[in-house]
Structure 1
Amino acid sequence: MVSAPEPERNLRLVDSGGSAVDPLVDPITDDAPVAHPLGPIGRALDDAVDKVWEPLRGRPLVDRVFYTASELGDFSLIWHIAGTARGLTTRRGHREAARLALALGMESALVNGAVKSLFRRDRPLHEEERPHNLRQPLTSSFPSGHASAAFMAATLLSERSRVKPLWYGLAGVVAASRIHVRIHHASDVVVGAGAGLLIGRVVRKVFSLR
């Protein structure tokens, strides 16, 4: 008696860098998984940071802080609020607010549109139930748009500001929140933050407030 063929199993593995690996896919086809954008160094960074960060996850207060920061970073909400506040409370603030809003729009189009389209990196694997609601992006994980927007905004908001460390500290919390909630790998955040600093410097030079 001939037994019926065993049904195919939909296997889906995830490497240490977070890229999905399908063992049934021919590695030379267009559907093959993309290598880590930063190579072995980036993969080692992701693994090391995730190992160090893991004990912080699951702590109610820490979870609340980072999930809130991540949510406020959606659509650069926190930075638009900060820009509006500056516009209402400082001299020449309306120019700063307008510049920030314009820059955030350009940054989003560049990073979340053009740059992310060049990569097909999967988001970090997450199987457990999250402690708080979280918007799940559909774009590539690399680089982090939250991190790039945060550090670009901090670069602009810190210009002629007496509380520069505050802006960069806030940017750091928003960027790090994406690692905590497992929406981004550490390398996504590092590259995103670097891109944000660079974009911010360019905007300050091209659209000077002086």
Structure 2
Amino acid sequence: MQTGAPVSGELVLLGGGHAQVAALKSFAMRPLPGLRLTLVCRDINTPYSGMLPAFVEGVWSERDIHIDLQKLAAMANARFIHAEATGIDTDDKRILFADRPPVKFDMLSVNIGGRPNLAAIDGAAQHAVPVKPISRFQHRLDELVSKGYPRRIAIIGGGAAGCELALAFARRWFREAGARPDIFIFARSARLVPEMPPRAARLLHDALRDVGCTVQCGA
């Protein structure tokens, strides 16, 4: 709880997504007098997706890429409830749980992280390994490596994250297996990283070509 003033409001952060992490950091640096802050999350540690490519490459460990939510909540003077919510009662402004009393709120922020819609792509549910949730992706990556490094990898998405993952796979496979895999990147956009300047896209395309990646845009 933000100390030094009577409680005038209850803000509950539901989930440990990036927006909640940023909010907790902000409250830790600039507390709001009178605001009682609560973080509700089923996980104590949450992975930071921006560090995932370096984890895939083997630069960072699993511990390195995770944020300790309980510690961050303490820094923000927030109470931390380690539990999974089962529902939200919007009429009475309560978070519901299966095994504990409800938590009241005046304001609620929900940020539980994104998941891809595999049903939107034919065959993806059967054959694809979604990057999110990251914990599941980490498990599947370990399985793939333990069974022998796959020789062909297809990545759907030509944004920065997809390109960084392609480079990470190429570097790790070459270092640990002695050969780079055949990597194919399929992008719906007309070029890679459309959110970046054209020159950045060209430089990235050259880097991918240098490690043997095949890029197909407009796919």
Which is helix-richer, 1 or 2? 1
Q: TM-score, normalised by structure 1?
A: 0.21
TM-score, structure 2 normalization? 0.20
Which structure shows the higher strand fraction? 2
Larger RCO, structures 1/2 (Cα 8 Å, 6+ apart): 1
